[in-house]
Amino acid sequence: MTSFLFHRSSLSLAVALSCLSAQPVLANGPASPADIQRLQQELRELRQQYEGRLQHLEQQLQQALQRPAPSTAAAPQDATTPGTAQAGNASANRYNPAISLVLSGVYAHLQQDPGTWGLGQFMPGDGELGPGEKGLRLGESELRLSASIDPWWSGVLNLALTPENEAEVEEAFVQSTALLDGLTLKAGRFRSGLGYLNEQHPHTWDFVDAPLPQQAFLAGGLGHDGLQARLLLPTEQFVELGAEAGRGATADNGAGSTLVFARTGGDIGTSHNWRLGVSHLWERGLSRSWEDAAGLNHAFEGRSRLWAIDGVWKWAPNGNAKSTSFKLQGEVYQRDLTGDLQADTAGAASTDAFGHKARGYYVQGVYQFAPRWRLGLRHDEVSPGTPMLGANTGLVSWNDHTPQRQSLMLDYAPSEFSRWRVQVNNDRVRSDLRDTQVFLQYQMSLGAHGAHSY
């Protein structure tokens, strides 16, 4: 590069000297047409020589840049300069996994026996439901590895380490990074893009526990083994469309669950921004069971359709959320179940058509009133609706109680890697009992930790 700049400067100097040498001819008197023609010819020749030499040097520079670097193994170790070592390490680290670990723990003071807490007749399926056990307990830890695979793909592995000493693959997917403008593909196991909260990991939640609708309809969180496609439209306002096809509960060649969603949002001035979304989930091959208030067991097999509408509004003065901010979010769900119900599986075992429509929602606000301090309030509830039982009407004891809660939260984050939280729930999930629940929680993040989603 130094040689190239030197030659370029030399050529420029040569042109300048040639022009200066021609000035005495003009100074001695008016130049003849022959003198002017001769000077113009010399200038053209010098320009051609200069441009030709410059192009040649530029070609040499490009060839030098494209030539592979010498192998570091062939060179003595003490001959490697700091600059080349840093460049090599940066190139290698680009494909090395970034590792992060989230540690959490909870102390729970519960007024009622957690074994009597339940959303059974909503048939949520297997998942993390309820307030958990009393006293001190280890929370779920998350181990995450992520890295670029090549210029077109990246990969993520997220392991959930449970207090029961079990390791679960929560996410393991590859995701495109440079296919088509605005298009992102994902394949593997991942948290579904349904609604707003479902896609977020528990350590990013604003409260200790998931809202009741997410527990009743999604068993705490919906995940897929499947494919996802997202398309960000090239519009001034944020508009994103997406679709998913997952294995679901089926074991055949088709997709057991499919999801479509659409989102839009934008800014209002410099202090406000918002997002609104709608999702529709289809699931088939479901097999669920529950025990009613009379102690009889029932089994359902069939299909599910779930609608979700989510909204988020954020405020921060002039977009600066360091000192104070406010976030309001909420989601509304409606789920329709259709299929067959076998009532009293251990006794009458009567089977007939079954239909059930249930709704639920939550709304919460979180106010950052000082740097690192936040105060939050949440209300959540689910409505059981009235099922169509057919011939099983007399065999099923249906509870029309509407489970609901109110939660108050205060947390403090000494840094972006740690958070301490206290939360009080006024839990009225049980139809005949009120449960005052107090939680103390800590969350710590170790290692690389990327930015959270909106």
Q: Is 213 helix (H, G, I), strand (E, B) or coil?
A: helix
Q: Is 169 helix (H, G, I), strand (E, B) or coil?
A: strand
d(CA 167, CA 174): 20
* Residue recorded with tokens 């999930």: 429
Q: Are 343 and 393 in contact (CB under 8 A)?
A: no
**Averaged over 355-364, what is the pLDDT?**
96
Q: Which domains are present in the chain?
A: 94-445 (2.40.160.10)
**Averaged over 174-198, what is the pLDDT?**
94
Q: Is the confidence at residue 277, as pLDDT, over 50?
A: yes
* Alpha-carbon torsion angle 385, 388, 393, 395, nearest 10: -80
Q: Is the confidence at residue 64, as pLDDT, over 60?
A: no
Which amino acid appears at position 167 of this protein?
A
d(CA 301, CA 217): 16
- Model pLDDT, residue 9: 44
- Model pLDDT, residue 331: 99
Instruction: Enter the DSSP assignment of 125.
Output: -
pTM: 0.78
Instruction: Enter the DSSP assignment of 385.
Output: -
- pLDDT per position as a tens digit, 1-55: 444 434 444 444 444 444 444 444 444 455 666 666 667 666 666 666 656 566 6
- pLDDT per position as a tens digit, 399-444: 889 999 999 999 999 999 999 999 999 999 998 899 999 999 999 9
Mean pLDDT, the chain, whole residue set? 84
